[in-house]
Structure 1
């Protein structure tokens, strides 16, 4: 391995890394892709959907590819604001999302990531499993100058390359080591735990009002993680359910919360319990996700280096996998340009940054740049707004002997007594941004 040379080495074989490797290989670049686990997806976790339109930018009509491990086409997407025994629900269910080009599919990462990396290999990339890059290697070009010449592996082997694409995921150890990203503190990270529960397909379709290979996603906020700011959710797969719950890491630690206990509390909620009744746990995972947001986006390029995906803090609300894929695509385009010019300088690679800043998700991230700071300042805001909405909904739908005018006045007074209306409005605004509703 020490004598191997490639045009590009991609550190990480998740959605960002595989997207970059696949497209670069399609452009006749020689690519080495490094996976630190035994196979791509073995160490990855997410709720579990891919958005169709971004994925089509890489693999048009991907749903027709033989063997692609898609679970269910999502036709129902909901957000539930939970109190301890109730829920205010919003969402959309429609058959339109059940037809090509679809909206999104549920996936299981340990299946999908492996398949996706195999597509890059089929295009010509070379995959190395159980392979951890620990540093960059440089070639001296002068008395005080040097250029990137690949990566050093754990154990001392070297893979030489003109360009290194860092797709390491949330840990981003190498990205931090070379000074492109600051070490994240617990306030900039969320910790999620996930269970995959085996359940017959017929029961899934019955409980979630689905037909055939239709699927549903339910995001949940409020009670599942209170008193910390976080989220929970259920994703339907072919014959299993993925359930996830998590919150800001600093709030979990400071408030003495146990992620396993959060999961058990989530599963015991009366609105959740009936959906998962009789399901058998078959897989358990835990994962950190960077949530520093727009203000913590690292330096994205340097001489001979591009940072993509979670390592680049490319997370917007509930969207992560599709943004990782798009950053991989942008990196591949910048790499092709650099290779054609035989120029891997920061200036040439800055075309990647221009693509990021011109993307749809960059503006979303910019608009929500204060969300993380707000939630770490007002750590009860998520709980308060969801509790208020449940209390108000209960009073609104309750059939009593009061006229509507009196009932509305009482509801407004109750809101005022909880906290100033201006603060409630802010809680709702930032909540909608965090939940990726607005």
Structure 2
């Protein structure tokens, strides 16, 4: 039986960050990863945000395996043969300290885990933690004191940090979360297409090292809520598409078929033409931010990242890193006092509640509740926006007053204008724009 000051389960952004800061502070740490290497089991939207990552590794852009600095960010309200584009291009974001980067998870996660190892943490890959260990107590269950591995080996520790992702089996066993229903989970599929850098730059109006991110709603997921996106890497494109799991089940929709249809859209096809598939991946993500009964700590254990439902719009990995840092700070303080009880680890929750992202995560629940009531909001908004745009830009033999009257009639016949505004605001929040 091996003993450490801290065991971290999961070498994703939250786990590796927690291991890095604890090891940097002198704790004896082991980082457990179920995949063959960090990142092999993971997938995310495709962007890393600069400011949170700089808190972990200052001037990270000098060494991290990043793809492109994002200077173009947009949302397309997509219909069958048209798109209304909402976006921004900012060349300041091409220079330090930057804003965000596109990244490929296998490369990024491996690099971040290596930073933890360089700081002194031990990394064990292809290692599955099956059970939590508890201190013996005459009545009830004692504090968490380690983990039991798949092969029967036991590792004891003063504190366990759970950063195991959305599956969160140990987090549930610790009583820190409850099983998620299908309407609180989204299923995503991603395909990476190889494409020469010069073609990417030409099609997306970029220069060398610059990147673009395009989110698309409406057409990609039919008449249900959902989202698709194109992320520009150095010499490849990441194509993502996802929607709530319960809608996939109820409507018997196939994500691969939706992805194939999306790639054939006349406007999308022009962006990805000539790209050769490098592989697919699928991943579950949480919806709606922190659940009402979510807990973050107990005696001898803390949870961070997506296992704690820390997702807000398109943001997840950067929030996970910030949470991992706070968990590490709490563990270091607990070790200094020799107290890893829930009374001491409660400081982790206090730190979390003081952050901007926990407030954003909680408010994200409003968007999910809105979409639960209006599941066709994205579809109605996209079709209406495109119909209005066609009418506005089409040149006909009519007076300005006649054109305005036609557009007003179109707007009123689709749904109440106030509902259209609410749909748009809910969408912007859900897509991570607001």
TM, length-normalised to structure 2: 0.97
Conserved? CA contact 2:288–2:366, under 8 Å = no
Alpha-carbon distance between aligned partners in 1 of 2:349 and 2:8, rounded to the nearest angstrom? 18
1:102 counterpart (59, 81, 98): 98
- Is 1:378 the counterpart of 2:359? The answer is no
Deviation at 1:244, TM superposition (A): 0.4
Structure 1 residues not aligned, in runs of 5+: none
| SS of equivalent residue, structure 1 residue 50 | strand
Taking a change above 3 Å as real, the CA distance of residues 350 and 403 of structure 1, as seen in their structure-2 partners, is: farther
Alpha-carbon distance between aligned partners in 2 of 1:296 and 1:134, rounded to the nearest angstrom? 26
Conserved? CA contact 2:290–2:308, under 8 Å = no
Counterpart for residue 35 of structure 1: 33
1:148 counterpart (124, 144, 147): 144
Structure 2 residues not aligned, in runs of 5+: none
Q: Which runs of 4+ in 1 moved over 6 A?
A: none
Alpha-carbon distance between aligned partners in 2 of 1:135 and 1:42, rounded to the nearest angstrom? 22
- Between 1:243-252 and 1:359-368, the stretch displaced more is 359-368
1:122-201 aligned within 5 A: 122-140=118-136, 146-201=142-197
2:322 counterpart (319, 326, 337): 326
Deviation track 1:55-94 (CA, whole Å, cap 9, x = no partner) reads 00111111123xx211111111111110111111111112
Conserved? CA contact 1:296–1:313, under 8 Å = no
Conserved? CA contact 1:226–1:383, under 8 Å = yes
Conserved? CA contact 1:12–1:33, under 8 Å = yes
1:327-346 aligned within 5 A: 327-346=323-342
Deviation at 1:143, TM superposition (A): 5.3
2:21 counterpart (20, 23, 35): 23
Deviation at 1:410, TM superposition (A): 2.2
Task: Give the number of equivalent residue pairs.
Answer: 434
Conserved? CA contact 2:42–2:105, under 8 Å = yes
Deviation track 1:26-83 (CA, whole Å, cap 9, x = no partner) reads 1111111110111110010112110000000111111123xx2111111111111101
Conserved? CA contact 1:198–1:279, under 8 Å = yes
Alpha-carbon distance between aligned partners in 1 of 2:405 and 2:332, rounded to the nearest angstrom? 63
Deviation at 1:146, TM superposition (A): 2.1
1:5-404 aligned within 5 A: 5-65=3-63, 68-140=64-136, 146-296=142-292, 298-404=294-400
Conserved? CA contact 1:34–1:132, under 8 Å = yes
Conserved? CA contact 1:297–1:312, under 8 Å = no
Deviation at 1:202, TM superposition (A): 1.1
Deviation at 1:297, TM superposition (A): 6.2
TM, length-normalised to structure 1: 0.96
Deviation at 1:141, TM superposition (A): 5.3
| SS of equivalent residue, structure 1 residue 33 | strand
Alpha-carbon distance between aligned partners in 1 of 2:262 and 2:193, rounded to the nearest angstrom? 14
Conserved? CA contact 2:288–2:367, under 8 Å = no
Conserved? CA contact 1:297–1:313, under 8 Å = no
Alpha-carbon distance between aligned partners in 2 of 1:297 and 1:217, rounded to the nearest angstrom? 34
Conserved? CA contact 1:47–1:243, under 8 Å = no
Deviation track 1:331-356 (CA, whole Å, cap 9, x = no partner) reads 11111111111111112111111121
Taking a change above 3 Å as real, the CA distance of residues 296 and 279 of structure 1, as seen in their structure-2 partners, is: farther
